[in-house]
Amino acid sequence: MPPLSIAVTVNAVLYRRDVEPRLLLSDFLRQELGLTGTHVGCEHGVCGACTVLLDGEAVRACLMLAVQADGHAVETVEGLGSMDDLHPLQAAFRQAHALQCGFCTPGILMTLVPFLQEHPNPDEAEIREALSGNLCRCTGYQNIVDAVKLACGTAPVPADR
Ligand code: FES
Ligand code: FES
């Protein structure tokens, strides 16, 4: 099939591109737009590393085609905050030492952002349930849970380690 023209808003910027119909949204973001903060792990919907927001809802970018995002708004981790102006959740991850290699972190952040909008004061079981679709091989999750509590104001700020 010939390329298809799409117009996708990513992090509040409108991009028009001609893409192969089979191009994954994850590859579109990474290769066409250079937004490599969206990570690709399993490429079949299991690990959650590729999670982005589509019209505010968390989706697996590896399970969507770029053409399916035509006319929609995508948010990636690059749109959350910057090095000088971290999103509160990113700041909490840093404070609570919630990442090691960081490969899972963008997907976890993009999963948690809409979760926390719907559940501003989650208990630990709700946090762990929300994280259940995101695999992290480094942290054992405890510090990630602590970071979420920190972002919600339900955990003390950890001492520097
Ligand atoms: S890369 Fe998409 S869920 Fe693993
Ligand atoms: S911090 Fe390494 S996979 Fe999660």
The rounded distance, in Å, linking the Cα atoms of 67 and 28 is 10
pLDDT, position 158: 66
User: In ligand 1, which atom is closest to the CA atom of 135?
Assistant: 4
What is the CA(139)–ligand 2 centre distance, in A? Answer: 6
Task: Check if 47 has its Cβ closer than 6 Å to any atom of ligand 1.
Answer: yes
State if pTM tops 0.85. Answer: yes
Indicate which residue's Cα is closest to atom 3 of ligand 1. 45
Which of 35-39, 103-107, 150-154 has the weakest average pLDDT?
Answer: 150-154
Atom of ligand 1 nearest to the CA of 60: 2
CA 38 / ligand 1 centre spacing (Å): 10
Phi, psi of 32 (to 5 degrees): -80, -40
65 lines ligand 1 (CB under 6 A): no
Nearest of 8, 2, 6, 18 to residue 79 by alpha carbon: 8
Judge whether 92 and 98 are in contact, CB under 8 Å. Answer: yes
Q: Ligand 1 in contact with 62 (CB < 6 A)?
A: yes
pLDDT-above-70 percentage for the chain: 96
Tell me how far apart the alpha carbons of residues 120 and 10 are, in angstroms, rounded to a whole number.
Answer: 25
Phi/psi zone of residue 11: left (φ > 0), alpha (ψ -120 to 50 degrees), beta?
A: left
DSSP E strands in 11-69: the ranges are 13-19, 51-54, 57-60
8, β-bridge pairs: 15
Instruction: For residue 113, give the nearest of 161, 57, 65 by alpha carbon.
Output: 57
**Cα separation, 161 vs 159, whole angstroms:** 6
Q: What is the pLDDT of residue 157?
A: 64
Cα angle: 147, vertex 148, 152; to 5 degrees: 115
Q: Is residue 159 pLDDT above 70, yes or no?
A: no
- Residue 154: what pLDDT? 74
State how far the Cα of 34 lies from the Cα of 135, in Å rounded to an integer: 24
CB-based pocket (< 6 A), ligand 2: 99-105, 136-139
Q: Tell me, using a 6 A CB cutoff, whether residue 122 lines ligand 1.
A: no
Strand-pair partners of 14: 9
- Model confidence at 109, in pLDDT bands (50, 70, 90)? very high
Q: Please provide the average confidence, as pLDDT, over all residues in the chain.
A: 95
